[in-house]
A and B are shown apart, each in its own frame.
Chain A
Amino acid sequence: MKRRDILKLAALAGASAVVPGVLSEVRAGPIGHTGPYWITIQAGWGWDPTLFCDPKGAPVNATYDKAQIAKAGNIPYAPSNENDAFFGKYASRLCVVNGIELSTHQIEAAFRQMWTGALEPGYPSLAALLAAGLGGGAPMPLISAGGFEETAGLVPRTRLVGAQPLDWASLTAPSADMASLFSPMTETRIAQYRRERLKAKLATSLPPGIKSVIEAAEAAELSRPKLEQWKAHWPSPLSDDPSRALIQLTLAAFKAKLSVSANLWWMLDPAVTDAAQVENFNDWTARFDVLMDEIEAFGLDNSVILVASSGGGRTPMYLDEQMKGHWSVGSMLLLGPGIPGNRIIGGTDENLRGLPLDPSTLEPNPTGVRLRPAHIHRALRRLAGIEASAEAKAFPLDAEDLPLFS
């Protein structure tokens, strides 16, 4: 399917809807994807990699000198107790990519590009593309928890988090107490009549927008009974902590083979000072620990690929009152099967410009290529095995193939 065809069809169903026609076939089909599963971790508001995974020291950083830069395996990092713990624990499995050029200073455009690989709008997020490419037939292929959530109409989203306390057990139950409502025979009869009516409705000449939402509704309805498989993998009880509960629900959906990917939105406070940035990183690494603990508890240690980033970074120089603004060069952290650990790719100079890289060795080379999100996304598509999929081809990325994860 060509991109224009996909876009045209997707447009019929609305920006966040699904591909009509295609959906009802694939989502009613067998559940296929058995991993690896993907989690993208979006950190809002622009973190400062120089206080984390791309340390510089003075004068870029007022809080430490170059001599204080710490290292875990091959990975240097900014000194702090929390960073010591984080990199000490995960460096052997982490791949850090620094010096990613975003080619825009506009924060939303930069963030979008980091998560789609393209500066051009209209592209799906990495999580959405993976969900479509790997598991379009899954009932809840994409779990989306805020942040950049564009699907380009490829897959429906399932929302599992918010500021609201939700009783997920109740929301996924067929009724308050089925035994006291309808007999199984009656319930089956109601569902059958309802389906026959929808089928008849679809056979009439309907506006395309109406037809597509009915098809999407029917596909969701067909998948509804599979929620029981999901619930079978829930820990008992679910955590009271909404962040942990979201992770548990997500991993349970992976285990039940209902979902393929998830994007997590780890909202950070706007942080223009070093102190605020450090506080954010402390919070972020604590959340990362929770995620990794749960992945282990679910027995998915070697089945989940994590991709974490913010948009760009922060300026190399301090502005007034020791504050920093947004910067168009960023970093990304990756971990999981197929991702080489203890590896650092790319870098920045003292002005926080990305270092051009030799396209073969990935070593700094003044005549090499500047690393862009498109390079990383191309490599991730290859890693996932979806680079030749219709969905990936519909959203081409203009960049060289670099051996980033090989």
Chain B
Amino acid sequence: MKTRHLSMTLVFASAAAVSASLMTSCSAGDGGECVSTTRFFAERVWGPTISKKCINCHTSYGLAKSSAFLLEDESNPDYISYNLGVVTRIAELEKDGASLFLQKAAGKLSHGGGVQVQEGSEEYAALEELVARLSEGGSDACAAGSGAESIAAYATLLDWVPSLRKASMSLVGRWPTEEEEKSVRDGGEAAFDTVLLAMMNEDAFYERLKEIWNDYLLTDKFLPMPGAGGKRGIEILPTGSAQGGAGFDDFPNVHTLAERFPDEREQMFVGVGVAREPLELIAHVVRNGRPFTEILTADYMMVNPYSAYVFGVDGEVGFADPKDPTEYRKATLTIQRNGVEIPIKHAGLLTSHALLSRFPTTITSRNRSRANAILNLFLGINARRLAERSIDPTRVTGHNPTMNHPDCTVCHTVLDPVAGAFKQWPWVHAGSFVRYMPEEGGPAAINAGLGGWPAPGAWFTDMLAPGLGAEVVPSEEWATSERWLAHRLAADRRFALNVVQKMYEGITGHKPIQFPSNASAAAEINAWEVQSAFLKDVTDQFVSSDYDLRRVILALVKSPYYRAAGFRGKETPERNAELRDVGTGRLLTAEMLDRKIRAVTGLWWSPEVNASASQGRGLLAGVMDLGKETVRWPSIAYGGHEGGSLTERFTTVNPVMANMAWKMANEMGCFAAAWDFMHPAEERRLFPHVELVDTPEDAAGSERSEVVSAIKKNMVHLHRRVWGVDVTEDSEEVSQAYTLFYETWKGGQGALADGTEKLWAPCRIQSLPGQPAGTPLEPGLATIDEDKDYTMRSWSAVLTYLLADYTFLYE
């Protein structure tokens, strides 16, 4: 594949510049090495001092929670930068001409924590240097920083056209068209931007986008898988039957579903609409160029023609095609509660029945586990990390420990306010439904089933007030606390960074690098420093574009994290640690590979390829064709998850997965070759330059040079078609593939002659692939019964070889 050499320093230049303008000013450290202020802070101040001493008290839940010096721990996805900002503000303050920060650390003034750092110690010297650096305002910035320089050992990046191929197959499941490639070949980076952004208008892009976000939201758990899930999706909707009467029948149309949609397939479309609602909101926001913050702040939800009925809004929402399950429109819901109409105060994903059902609560959890999920999903806060410190349970005594005991408040200060903000979505005893219960629903019999849960509109008095962090939901927004929370989350810088981090993982397959727990791991800090600056740069672009998610994807795809294909220079363990996430070789997910097989061969790998032989379900556990879109259930055997007890994808293969890939290559190499040769040359995807009579040698054993040339020309085509790479007829790749072809053909001649193999062709296709068994072939297509020259099997061998290769199975 064509690559170009580029110093990563250059690629990261914009990130480095942005960072330098903020707080990564540099100065010469020991030995003249340039060390950025961020790195200095992380290595010399945060690691040895602040993370071990100051943070024990100076947090929103610590003993010094009323001080102005409030730090955040590792649960904040950007805690290094955040805490440097806190220190920067404090470092500006002086008392009697001396730094307040230094004096407090040394136990002077009125520091409640006493002496934490001895004057004259190494730690104190580091604090002094940090204060000095900050007071100089970054005047000693050095252009690229040592971390960037050390990582910037030269990378070979995919050029723009190969980058486009990679991104195109990943995001829209096809290779670029000739026109798209020409445009990028001629127009370079600018044209790349234009073409890729245009691809993001295709339906296939939204399939991929939903897959990426489902890996976090996990709401496809409720999708009604054909043959396995019945009416899943519908079942999460609260009905009255389980909870004491029609007064609580929030969506009574659930009961008349079968009459309205006698076709079972249409009933499943209802389930799809209910289950997919949160992912469709994400798709809607991006598709319409809306700020991505709207996934939280939307005062509406999404329905398709089928879920519109069950939600009771089919008469209000107009659809272009009321039979199209992929058409989603905005809607606002009203529920009937004891004869009173109660409009749901939508707050984007925060009030989604599907999302709240996926992250439910219990009477004892009081929405806390849900709050944990919400903070993780939308701010990247991992409150579980707060609990990664040992406590002595016998010490946890006294009045209401969750509000008052430091062992408990460490988590509860973070979780409880958010839990309270979901007070209109309480735990419901019977049926485990997620149910909207605002104050206007009034006290009701159903509350008897809620145990000790407060009456609608109220919240637990032995918990912190509903809010976010230290901010409390104001009284005028008390009844719409989810909306208040949604807007606070969306406005938080961590929301933008978190979206970028999640998209980074979705696009590259790598998790963002965490600041290493071992602060002396220089190479790992280098890797973190450069990537952290890059992701912040992308976050800035995201915010300044009014939260246009497509800009994030574009920036990620153009980065070395996506495009690096090789490296120059000497390989060392340190360098490998620095470069560990640069360049991708991700294992394609089952869904991505499924699309790629179809895009390359024209056939799905499914039982319908050869219904008589294959009992497998390919890479998918289930498929639902919705017309404009296909819903795929990745096989857990191929490392997928189902959003329930399995929530994580495998990123490396095991022998079962290797066998599935091998089986796919075997079957598709054979069937796809047969299918392609059944078509006229001008309609073929794989073999446009050869015919089955084209043998490399004549009957006398002499080479047929013109035919060999055509065969090699087709090899070039196959490499482009299957692997997405440009090779020449005299390349090593073609040479190897041709040798395989020739040896297979030659061996086949002998096998035909001695009768160990027969004339008949393998993989005879007698009915239309992708359709129920027995569906007649299209007019003009005929089964190839014989392979008398053994060329079909030779080409099949080459195709299998290409399909089984790393280049095809990995990104």
Interface residues of A (CB under 8 A from B): 4, 8, 11-18, 44, 101-109, 119-122, 139-140, 146-147, 149, 156-178, 180-183, 185-187, 189-190, 193-194, 196-198, 201, 204-211, 213-214, 216-217, 220-221, 223-224, 226-227, 265, 267, 270, 272, 319-321, 323-326, 328-329, 353
Contact = CB atoms under 8 A, between A and B. Distances in A.
Interface string B725-757: 000000000001001100110011001000011
Contacts of B585: 206-207, 209-211, 213-214
Given A166-B636, A213-B810, A214-B806, A186 B657 contact: no
A121 to B, nearest CB: 6
A186 B747 contact: yes
Given A4-B521, A181-B667, A182-B793, A11 B580 contact: yes
A216 B613 CA distance: 30
A149 B648 contact: yes
Contacts of A119: 388-390
B384 A106 contact: yes
A379 to B, nearest CB: 20
B391 A171 contact: no
A182 B797 contact: yes
B573 interface: yes
A174 B579 CA distance: 36
B384 A216 contact: no
B280 interface: no
Interface of B: 155, 225, 228, 360, 362-365, 369, 384-394, 396, 408, 411, 451-452, 509-511, 517-518, 521, 524, 564-569, 571, 573, 576-577, 579-587, 610, 613-617, 621-622, 633, 635-637, 639, 641-642, 644-646, 648, 650-660, 662-663, 666-667, 670, 736, 739-740, 743-744, 747-748, 751, 756-757, 762-763, 793, 796-797, 800-801, 804-806, 809-810
A14 B513 CA distance: 11
Given A12-B576, A102-B393, A156-B653, 11 more contacts: A106-B411, A119-B388, A121-B388, A157-B650, A159-B646, A171-B660, A193-B801, A194-B801, A208-B576, A220-B652, A326-B364
8 contacts: A4-B518, A109-B384, A171-B635, A205-B569, A207-B582, A208-B579, A220-B657, A226-B655
Contact of B510 (A18, A169, A172, A209): A209
A146 B586 CA distance: 22
Among all A-B residue pairs, the 9 with the closest Cβ atoms: A320-B452, A106-B387, A210-B585, A321-B451, A207-B583, A162-B636, A325-B364, A164-B621, A176-B613
A146 B646 CA distance: 5
Contacts of A198: 805-806
Contacts of B657: 220
A122 B385 CA distance: 11
Contacts of A211: 585
A107 B801 CA distance: 48
B451 A217 contact: no
Nearest to A214: B806
Contacts of A270: 360, 362
A107 B124 CA distance: 39
A102 B764 CA distance: 62
Contacts of B386: 106
Contacts, number: 301
A103 B800 CA distance: 55
B740 A189 contact: yes
Nearest to B573: A8
Given A172-B656, A209-B583, A221 B387 contact: no
A197 B616 contact: no
Given A171-B656, A216-B652, A182 B364 contact: no
A3 B565 CA distance: 29
B566 A328 contact: no
A230 to B, nearest CB: 9
B653 A216 contact: yes
Contacts of A183: 747-748, 751, 756-757
A185 B747 contact: yes
Contacts of B646: 146, 159, 162
Given A8-B524, A182-B800, A140 B654 contact: yes
A224 B369 CA distance: 41
Contact of B645 (A101, A120, A146, A329): A146
Nearest to A323: B363
B387 A181 contact: no
B452 A319 contact: yes
A218 to B, nearest CB: 9
A182 B670 contact: yes
B364 A217 contact: no
B393 to A, nearest CB: 5
A385 to B, nearest CB: 25
Contact of A213 (B518, B652, B656, B663): B652
A146 B640 CA distance: 12
Q: Which of A105, A120, A329 has the most B CB atoms < 10 Å from its CB? A: A105
Nearest to B645: A146
A319 B364 contact: yes
Nearest to B560: A207
B635 A164 contact: yes
